[in-house]
Structure 1
Amino acid sequence: MVRKFGLPVLTPKPPPPTVDAMRKRLGGRASTEPGAGDAVTFTTPGGVRLTGVVLFVRGDELDVWVDENVVRRTRRAVAAPLDAELPRDLVAIAADARVFAKLSEGQRIRYLDEGRVDEGTLVEKCRFGALVERGDGTIVGLGFRRLWPADATPAREPS
């Protein structure tokens, strides 16, 4: 009689992402021009009217958060300031975008990572977040909603 044993299969843990991969995921190294956090409305080439919050501005190019984790690129020429109250779900996004726009490379910041708040140094700003050096020297890539100045408390509970 032969007995079969079911052995657990161990899959190797994937290597941590490289700095280049994190930078790419966060939209590439860039700092925004004034206008981040502004509420705008625009019409897509397909004729759909959208309302959102500007996350990044460079020249005539705007990156606008229009829905949970959905960012659309449009031109400043086709976007107009929102003439109504900003939808409730976008108010916190606008506040976070304004805070992130004011951060600078080399600045001490607080950040939310894996459910805990810690302090580090903003190494490199990207379109939608930043590369941050933790206290142990590790570089992590974090979205703009998880970062704020070290000398300030967040305006809301970080998400």
Structure 2
Amino acid sequence: MLYRYHPSPIGDLLLAGDEQGLHLLHMDSAQPWELAQGWYPAAHQLDAVARQLDEYFAGRRERFEVRLAPRGTAFQREVWWALQQIPYGTTTSYARLAQSIGRPRAIRAVGTANGANPVAVIVPCHRVIGSDGSLTGFAGGLERKQQLLQLEGAWLI
């Protein structure tokens, strides 16, 4: 697995991937990153991901063109695919997301899968909000979620 750190307006990001695609986009947090054994610094292999993130944060990219290889259950991958269908600059609720995958009663399971998204930002789990319009859970913290939604014009202060 190759990795690199990348600065962004929401803090440093840890990118990790291999020939299959991007496996991880981790936001800095109070907990230190732990690099697994067998991970090596990327030379230029993750440059395209970093460039697209820079374009996104500069407001010049609305959709990522990155090969993804997140690891998860079949259900999680189904939810992560559905997240990628949420248009830039819009939000949806957990209930609507559950309906979109044909599992209207699986709202909590959808929320759990959303929270387990290992490639946040690129797979836009930040676009899911509460049914009442409130900001709800985000692994990167609600402040970052609000920043991302403001960047996209989906959230006004």
TM-score by length of structure 1 reads: 0.26
Higher strand share: 1
TM-score by length of structure 2 reads: 0.26
Higher helix share: 2
